[in-house]
Amino acid sequence: MADETAAAPPPDREQIALAMWDKRMRAALRPLITKKIITEHRRDPLGHHSDALNRVLNYIRRRAPWGKCVVVCTKPFKQWRVARLPGARGQVPVFIDERTYNSEAKAMHAAFLVRIEELMRD
């Protein structure tokens, strides 16, 4: 009894509102993305941060999981890489490139830079 084409679920209009909000939020956050906050994050991706960096982090940390950049520990206490979360259960995160990092903090910063770059894009 083979599967057939599944019916599309009814549209969720909230997505339109969320997309508009997202556009406004990105526009509001872009001026905050300066060398200063990037340096601040590189120095310490955790703990107390400036208001500007906190606002940017609050935005990127609450993004939908699918496609989000995360850190994967590839050799315990030695090596980390950046990967993108899969689009569905049963799939594994995909590494975004071949680069490796020798600290968790450096990998977190690399993921941050990717997220920032995405934020700057339309």
Partner 1 sequence: MAETSIHGYSDRISVAPGERIRFMVSVEGAARYRADIVRLIHGDANPAGPGFKEEVVETAVSGDHPGRTQPIRAGSHVLIDDPGGLLNVGNSITVHTFIMPTTPAKGVQGVVTRCDPERRMGWALLIDGQGRLALWLGDGAGRLVQVAATTPLMAGIWYSAGASYDGATGRAIVHLAPVVNSYNSRVGPVAALAAPVVREVDVERVDFHSQSAAVIAGWAEGTSTAGATLVGGHYNGKIDRPRVYGHALSADELAGLAAGREPDSRGLIARWDFADGIGPIGIPSDRVTDASGNDLHGRCVNAPARAVTGHNFSGREEHFIHAPAEYGAIHFHDDDLEDAGWEPSFELIVPDTMRSDVYAARVRAGNAVDYIPFFVRPASGRPTAQVLFLAPTASYMAYANEHLGVDVGVGDAIMGHTTVLQQEDLYLCAHPELGLSTYDHHSDGSGVCYSSRLRPIPNMRPNYRHETGSLWGFAADLDLIGWLNARGIRYDVATDEDLHREGAALLRNYRVALTGTHPEYYSSAMLDAMEAFLGSGGRLMYLGGNGFYWVTSFHPDKPHLIEVRKAEGGSRAWQAQPGEYFHSTTGERGGVWRNRGRAPQKLVGVGFAAQGFDRSSYFRRMPDSRDPRASFIFAGVGEDELIGDFGLVGGGAAGHELDRYDLSLGTPPNAMLVACSEGHSDSYQRVVEEIYFMYPGAGGTQDPGVRGDIVYYTTAGGGAVFSASSIAWCGSLSHNNYDNNVSRITANVLERFLSAEPLPATS
Any contact of residue 104 with partner 1 (CB under 8 A)?
yes
Number of H helices, E strands in the chain: 4, 3
Residue from the set 43, 76, 121, 122 that interacts with partner 1 by CB under 8 A? 76
108 binds partner 1 (CB under 8 A): yes
Backbone phi, then psi, for 80, in 5-degree steps? -135, 155
CB burial of residue 96 (10 Å; 0-12, 13-18, 19+): middle
Binding mask 23-42 for partner 1 (x = CB under 8 A): --------------------
Strand residues in the chain grouped as ranges (E): 69-75, 79-84, 94-95
Is 50 near partner 1 (CB under 8 A)? no
Q: Which positions touch partner 1 (CB under 8 A)?
A: 1-10, 45-49, 54, 58, 60-65, 68-73, 76-77, 80, 83, 85-86, 89-93, 104, 107-108, 111-112
